[in-house]
Structure 1
Amino acid sequence: MRASREDVWLALSDLWLDVAPDAAGRQHIVRVLRASGLPLAELERIFYTEVAPVVWLNGWSVAGVWTGFDPQWLAEACRRNQTRGRWHRAKCRLLRGPMTSMCIEEWRLIAAELAQG
């Protein structure tokens, strides 16, 4: 079964929930990302420029989302980010540290597993 871009957004957004994914949660994310058929470089771009700008503040919130983001809200916001240009990508590069500090280690584990095939 092929995973859609919306499935990728939703899976990646789990990295910003108030509860870090356990091994089973991480494996679910890996399965979804593999099922998308997208190359790792594209998945990394999606992580940094489409999903992170939408959900990163949840990681800094005292009472953030624990169970999962609303799929429709997430898809609409990520779709907007998908169409933004250079200025958006530049902002994402500047804010990369704060946007991903809560989940970068998890992302690196996932990316390493995807790179291994």
Structure 2
Amino acid sequence: MYLDTDVSLSRAWRVQVLSASPYSVAEMDAILREEIHPVCFSNLLQPAGEWAGFDPSRLEQAIRRRGTRWRSRLLARLSLVLPGCFPTEEWTVTRREIASLRSHHGASQT
């Protein structure tokens, strides 16, 4: 959701993967805000940011390192309220579709 492209095109894939995860939607919210957002939000501020995707191993390394930099943590916290720095609309739709898919699968298994 932090790419410089139309991320709604990958929503169905994202919903499928996330709905199959063991995490609750609330836990995914926390992971997004506390782990992913601090590392990726700056891509949304770039005039020509990354659009093809992030390297998974580099992203993991950055997430693991991010906890040691107080300035980065502060900037990431502030960016949560700045317009255009958090994928609010896309995450809202994604969350809703995850919940819907999970409830549909739960109902069909009973």
TM-score (ref. length: structure 2)? 0.74
- Structure ranking higher on relative contact order (CA contacts 8 Å, 6+ apart): 2
Greater radius of gyration (CA): 2
Say whether 1:75 aligns with 2:60.
Answer: yes
Unaligned runs of 5+ in 2: 103-110
Give 5+ residue unaligned stretches, structure 1.
1-14
Over the residues paired in the alignment, what is the CA RMSD in angstroms?
2.4
Q: CA deviation at 1:75?
A: 0.9
**1:112 and 2:77 correspond:** no
Deviating 4+ runs (over 6 angstroms): none
TM-score, normalised on structure 1? 0.71
Cα distance between partner residues in 1 of 2:56 and 2:45: 21
Q: Distance in 2 between matches of 1:27 and 1:100?
A: 22
Q: Distance in 2 between matches of 1:28 and 1:73?
A: 22
| Larger helix share, 1 or 2 | 1
> What is the aligned length?
98
Identity %: 35
Task: Assess if the C-alpha contact under 8 Å between 2:42 and 2:85 holds in 1.
Answer: no
Does the CA contact (< 8 Å) of 2:3 and 2:44 recur in 1?
Answer: yes
Structure 2 CA distance for aligned equivalents of residues 105 and 76 of structure 1:
27
How far apart, CA to CA, are the structure 2 residues paired with 1:98 and 1:53?
13
1:113 partner letter: E
